[in-house]
Structure 1
Amino acid sequence: MGRFVFKLPDVGEGTAEAELAAWHVKVGDVVAEDQVVADVMTDKATVEITSPVSGTVSKLHGEPGQMMAVRGPLVEFEVEGDGNAAAEESSPAPVPAAPAPEPKSLAAQIEVAGAAPPSAPAPAPARRSDVARDPNQKPLASPAVRNRARELGIELQFVTGSGPAGRIEHADLDAYIAGGARPAARGGAATYARAEGSTEVRIIGLRRKIAEKMAESVRRIPHITYVEEIDVTALEELRAHLNAQNKGTDRPKLNVLPFIARAIVVALRDQPQINAWYDDEAGILTQHAAVHLGIAAQTPNGLMVPVVRHAEARDVYDTADEIARVSGAAKSGKAAKEELSGSTITITSLGTLGGVVHTPIINHPEVAIVGPNKIQERVVVRDGQIVVRKMMNLSSSFDHRIVDGHDAAVFVQRIKGLLEQPATLWMG
């Protein structure tokens, strides 16, 4: 058997280092050639690193959140044959980021790093407990035992079970009380076990990139947010009609986003300075002819902005298909780097959780972001009559260095008019 030292390869962006985002293997794992061993993150994307050899993992270099030097050692394997260890004895050590405290609660990270957990005082429970049970694990007990415990005000989470597989019996409740635990008073206000202690979680990987991006946008851009309500009753009727008409066909089911995308495209024709990037260091505003529409999407790994390119050249169905495709790729982690960059203006929608109003943060270096809120029925006055209409607020933010308040209002009012008279979205 020999030893093979696998160095972090160049991830293709000319960077000297990358952040180790996650391990997919641990010491002792048998790894096949081309198997993913780690995720690393650059400023633009997360990259899966695959093993160049088959073998057994003998050592992992670095921990999640640490900056790793390109061409520095990443993983060591025991392999058949001589390996390459003789040539790698003098390999440089990884370049660490600024020292940060070891996370106290991420047991998986501690195990991967091969280090002993840091010592910390255990939080004292509100009641006597000698049970090492996961807080999310439901204790085993019969309905009768649960009812009795509820009547006595006893939290089963803190009771040791003497039955099979730790099942809690009536005798265990008696022993718990005899051991000094006092049942809660009955007939008064409900009592609950007090929670104590804290958990430290290091912000790493994509979440750290999101935090840095948001802080940069707020720090560099003076935001102005403009909110307007839009009557989308006619739009919703059109959308329902089209979905019913196309049921059973290969056309996608339409939500409101493709219509908002089209309204943005049309409104930008008169205000090209809003479809732009602003380089505040060089003092240059780059106005784009094409509308590359960013779609802020919540993914399992955090917020990402996949891009619908050339939204100006797409009809409502093509736009719906492309929104679904790029958003799905981002959520599954399969989006290409070029699908996650290059947007010229962004839509951020929380769907049915959209609330009444929000203050979206601009995706730097863009100068505008459009944020639809949820659609809900409201009582409004139309032509002197009280009626119920489907209403949606639109919360949009602009870079006040480039977009004056008047221009922001004109832009939003143009979108409002288009959505309230949806036939005009495709006229002219």
Structure 2
Amino acid sequence: MGTHVIKMPDIGEGIAEVELSQWHVKVGDLVVEDQVLADVMTDKAMVDIPSPVHGKVIALGGQPGEVMAVGSVLISIEVEGAGNLKESDNPAPVAAKETPVAPKVEAVVESKPAAPRTTPVCQGPMVAREANERPLASPAVRKHALDLGIQLRLVRGSGPAGRVLHEDLEAYLAQGQSNASAPVAAAYAQRNDEEQIQVIGMRRKIAQRMQDATQRAAHFSYVEEIDVTAIEELRAHLNEKHGASRGKLTLLPFLVRALVVALRDFPQMNARYDDEAQVITRLGAVHVGVATQSDVGLMVPVVRHAEARSLWDSAAEIARLATAARNGKASRDELSGSTITLTSLGALGGIVSTPVLNLPEVAIVGVNKIVERPMVVKGQVVIRKMMNLSSSFDHRVVDGMDAALFIQAIRGLLEQPATLFVE
């Protein structure tokens, strides 16, 4: 038997050290070639480290949250034969999972598919939480729970930091049915326990990114109410006529189109601000970042050259990127380089929000939910579908009047949808 030492790989771009985010193995585990051993976090990406060998884990080189130098010992594996104790071929990073931290970075890290991971299954049909304790879950999971009639605070989460996943809802239903006699009183038992969760890895990068954005940019928000009755009627008509052959349209591709058209008159919104160099770069290409919630945190995949895409092309690209981001398969290139960001919480969008800028961009357009309201139209009270746009801007670059006029231009385009396609 011998020992194979795996060192922290050189991920590129001159990175000298990375943060060890999570171990997927422990001492004593048997591993196979290409099995994911650990996640490491650079300033720009979460990267999976695979095993190049079969063997047994005999030592781990660090703890989650620890910053490790490139070339330091990551893990030691007992293998058949002489092993590689003195030197190890650095394994190639696998399946880069980007965060919305570095819109400037355009390079793509070469990768190979990571070995499939096993999702932990909930142990027991329910878990008690304090009445005011908000369980961690993505908007999609919250909506799924609402549709299933499940109280999220009763579901044990198996994701990072106890986040509730779709699989946990299914496990809760399955185990709840097999344990139907479990006392309901358990959900109301008093609790005095505490849990400390270390902020590391992707969550730390997101926190740093949000803090940096709010400290460096002079945020201001502007909210405008929009009558989306006409655009919703058009969307329903197009889906009925072309949905089977071209795919269903959501509101997002219409919003992307409205951004593209409005930016022709407001190019200062499609820009990046380098506050260290004191340079504003306005771009002709419209690369729209679409904020997407995943089980590991907020990610911003980018619809590139939205100015050259049709409604269905935009819709297909948004769907493809969102799926890749949620599955952790989006590449570095797909998660960087945006020039303006669109964010939406869908059905959970609320009435008003104050989105945080995706630096170095200077504008982010936030979409709130659509609600039916009585409105006065030509002297008559009628029911209309209304929606707010809650958008934020960098006041160092964007004047308040320009921001208001920009959002009002989007409003005009959406309320008169034919103007979206008039050249």
Q: Output the CA distance in 2 between the equivalents of 1:247 and 1:418.
A: 23
SS in 1 for 2:291: strand
Q: Output the CA distance in 2 between the equivalents of 1:270 and 1:17.
A: 44
| Partner of residue 112, structure 1 | none
| Partner of residue 80, structure 1 | 80
Alignment of 1:248-259 (within 5 A): 248-249=244-245, 251-259=246-254
| Partner of residue 71, structure 1 | 71
| Partner of residue 216, structure 1 | 212
CA contact (8 A) 2:301 2:322 kept: yes
- Residue type matched to 1:53 in 2? V
Q: Output the CA distance in 2 between the equivalents of 1:295 and 1:286.
A: 21
- Residue type matched to 1:45 in 2? A
* Residues 31-40 or 328-337, more deviating: 31-40
CA contact (8 A) 2:374 2:382 kept: yes
Alignment of 1:186-335 (within 5 A): 193-249=189-245, 251-335=246-330
Alignment of 1:97-112 (within 5 A): none
| Partner of residue 405, structure 1 | 400
Cα distance change on mapping 1:52 and 1:135 into 2, 3 Å = closer
Q: Deviations over 1:336-383 (max 9, x none)?
A: 001111100000000000000100111000000000100110011111
Alignment of 1:2-401 (within 5 A): 2-86=2-86, 146=183, 155=185, 193-249=189-245, 251-401=246-396
Cα distance change on mapping 1:83 and 1:306 into 2, 3 Å = same
Q: Output the CA distance in 1 between the equivalents of 2:52 and 2:68.
A: 18
Q: Deviations over 1:194-226 (max 9, x none)?
A: 321311000111111110000000000111111
> TM-score, structure 2 length as denominator?
0.77
- Residue type matched to 1:210 in 2? I
Deviation of 1:271 after TM superposition, in Å, equals 1.2
SS in 1 for 2:280: strand
CA RMSD of aligned residues (A): 2.1
- Structure 2: segments with no counterpart, 5+ residues: 89-153, 157-171
Cα distance change on mapping 1:74 and 1:245 into 2, 3 Å = same
- Residue type matched to 1:322 in 2? E
- Residue type matched to 2:196 in 1? E
Deviation of 1:316 after TM superposition, in Å, equals 0.4
> TM-score, structure 1 length as denominator?
0.76
- Residue type matched to 2:340 in 1? I
CA contact (8 A) 2:243 2:249 kept: no
Q: Output the CA distance in 2 between the equivalents of 1:388 and 1:409.
A: 26
Higher RCO, Cα 8 Å, sep 6+:
2
Q: Output the CA distance in 1 between the equivalents of 2:179 and 2:392.
A: 54
Q: Output the CA distance in 1 between the equivalents of 2:179 and 2:224.
A: 55
Q: Output the CA distance in 2 between the equivalents of 1:331 and 1:135.
A: 21
Deviation of 1:38 after TM superposition, in Å, equals 1.1
After TM superposition, what 4+ stretches of structure 1 lie above 3 angstroms from structure 2?
134-143
Q: Deviations over 1:35-69 (max 9, x none)?
A: 22111111111111111222111111112211121
How many residues were matched structurally? Answer: 340
Cα distance change on mapping 1:4 and 1:256 into 2, 3 Å = same
Cα distance change on mapping 1:234 and 1:377 into 2, 3 Å = same
- Residue type matched to 1:301 in 2? V
